[in-house]
Structure 1
């Protein structure tokens, strides 16, 4: 496993453990670099901190005293720790650089790096690119918000081996030298303002993906996304545009007769694609751009696109019960993602929505309800969803307390031929530790219904 060499810092503070902090600490330890760990969880409840303590490392747990910054010249912070945290604020005052584990891991890169960001569709696109490169025999690795964290994966990267990496705004905000050979921005919508506090900061964090690209790199962009089109994309990467409309200015498009066309040549009909939803066509076009860049034969691309049906918790088909189709889209944690999910289906939809109330309103969501026959809401945001629906003239709303109850009620309200869709438009943290746990509960409840 690779380690860091010629590291320019004397002592590093790893602030916050979890997966990324643990991986960063392990990399520093294996590289023989002096570091300190600081984590909020007390030592008697913190198995990771115990392990590093037993290794003789400098570990402080249970609190975040400002003294953890003494004799530190670099902070590697957990992406989820906000920048208004007192330790981060103090580090800024002391002019100590603050990075995320992704930036630390970049020192290990030894081959093509493909990085994907966006407000929605990151995981689907990252997974599809990985599978396309795998089909082409390129032995890719996958990292970031999928599977193992970046520094674990990049330690295993062989010279010339492609790495496909999903990146969030939280991770990108803490980058300085990070530079992917291929950088994809799928879309931009209002998200994570509780962390970033402004759209400018959120978008600026996303755009850091491109800031260090040279003219030998490629920036892959969604031409039809209105927020992306308003931005000055930094860096010198070659611009490659995709569009789901027939626009000859773009490199890859969907034509008026529904052909996916790459630089003037038809590849396949969009109706042959196995992944449901027009919004997923954007993810597919971006993925094709990478596959073509790596010279994967068209027949392998077509075969993979016909058989790829998505990622768990992202418009995942769960089951058919009495001619009703159940889909798990638990990853849809904002209004835009749920609106796109609803529009993915031409059949009548019974929508299950709700979760953490982040203070927003939901009126916009109901504008996408052209084929929604009923909406069953639950969780902390249920009353806000109900009131928004009433304001928009949508009266087929049922309030429940839990996801299990909502799923059963949705089934009672459905008719043969309906789509029963969990697409919450909210984060999961009011009742679940993660969107994955929420989706698993939905799947379990569906199977019990059967």
Structure 2
């Protein structure tokens, strides 16, 4: 089992339990660090609390007493906890460093770390790169925002193994020394502004993925996204562009229906299993990351010819009475939903809505041409309804939950229609995770 190397902190407050907080508390304990855990919503009867207290770790629940900061030299916070939290505000005043558990990867000294971030496409790209490593028989782990606590995976993996890690802006904002050897920046779109407050803060968080790069590291970036191009201008990395819009002198690009890398033929687009224009960008990013990792083209081509997507991201669910059902529950912002809508030429019934983060939905308007009906739910239902009405969509229903949404969508559909769950919103107003939301959608479809 790996140990943290040159980790300069001894008295650590872990703020927020959940999966990552529980895992990191155990890791620190195994590294002989003094750990206190604080969680507002947890109870002393929770399994995770009982487990940690049996190890001798102090767990404080039900409040955030500022007295917990006494003697603390580091806070490791759950990525989703806002910096307005009273403990974090006081820690800033006292100049106590605040990190997220992803920072521990630096101290685990992983030989080859591939980090992927962006507003959309992270999970698909991360999975593609991981599958390419596996196909080439490279020793590799997958972790991060994709569902596996990265520091927990890092602690148990062998020295010869690589790690492919999906990274959110929430995770990256809490990094200081973190340095992937290969960083992938897919795109930048206004997202999570309720947390980051403005686009500049959001971009700065994303930029942490390459902030500590040297000329020994690689930065794979979207040459079609001007925000990305501006962000990476001063990066010290070896820059590797990808583009689906133009032929490049180097990097990954499309030319006459073929994907190339540095003028090397990779694969015909017609032979790729994964559909959707937006997925082509994810594929190009994965190809670039794989090539700089010295993965053979044969392994890349093999994966691209069979990989058809990840759960909850443009996932084909079923065909019923000649209606096609797709689960895109991971579409938690407008950009993701707009790209999903562009994937279909058929008449589409859109199921959307969720957590209200204060943004409007005007940017969705140009992509509603094929939408014949909308079934809306959650806090944003009425906001999205206004956009649907502006688009001239006559059939718009507001419903209470996903079961009702699926029944309603099926009732207003015709043969040949696509019924698409692509919410354009986070799930937290009604569901714990986008996975839960997507699973309920699929269960409802199968019950029809």
- Return the TM-score normalized by structure 2: 0.97
The runs of 5 or more residues in structure 1 that have no matched partner are: none
Match of 1:56 in 2: 56
Confirm or deny: 8 A CA contact 1:110 1:157 kept in the other structure: no
Give matches, 1:205-224, under 5 Å. Answer: 205-224=205-224
Match of 2:430 in 1: 431
Match of 1:382 in 2: 381
CA separation of 1:232 and 1:184: change in aligned 2, threshold 3 A: closer
Match of 2:338 in 1: 339
Q: What number of residue pairs does the alignment pair up?
A: 448
CA separation of 1:217 and 1:5: change in aligned 2, threshold 3 A: closer
For 1:182 and 1:223, the matched residues in 2 are separated by: 17
How far off is 1:191 after superposition?
A: 0.6
For 1:279 and 1:68, the matched residues in 2 are separated by: 46
Match of 2:265 in 1: 266
How far off is 1:162 after superposition?
A: 0.9
Confirm or deny: 8 A CA contact 2:44 2:61 kept in the other structure: no
For 2:252 and 2:4, the matched residues in 1 are separated by: 39
Give matches, 1:177-188, under 5 Å. Answer: 177-188=177-188
For 1:268 and 1:303, the matched residues in 2 are separated by: 10
How far off is 1:233 after superposition?
A: 4.3
Q: Secondary structure at the match of 1:13?
A: strand
Match of 1:66 in 2: 66
Confirm or deny: 8 A CA contact 2:77 2:99 kept in the other structure: yes
For 1:105 and 1:129, the matched residues in 2 are separated by: 19
1:75 correspondence with 2:86: no
Match of 1:448 in 2: 447
Match of 2:421 in 1: 422
Match of 1:100 in 2: 100
How far off is 1:250 after superposition?
A: 4.7
CA separation of 1:431 and 1:346: change in aligned 2, threshold 3 A: same
1:8 correspondence with 2:12: no
Across the aligned residues of Structure 1 and Structure 2, the Cα RMSD in angstroms comes to 1.5
Confirm or deny: 8 A CA contact 1:42 1:61 kept in the other structure: yes
CA separation of 1:144 and 1:234: change in aligned 2, threshold 3 A: farther
Confirm or deny: 8 A CA contact 1:13 1:75 kept in the other structure: yes
Give matches, 1:135-284, under 5 Å. Answer: 135-255=135-255, 257-284=256-283
**Cα deviation code 1:85-132 (max 9, x no counterpart):** 111111111111111101123201332000000011101111111111
Q: Secondary structure at the match of 2:219?
A: strand
Q: Secondary structure at the match of 1:375?
A: strand
CA separation of 1:41 and 1:401: change in aligned 2, threshold 3 A: closer
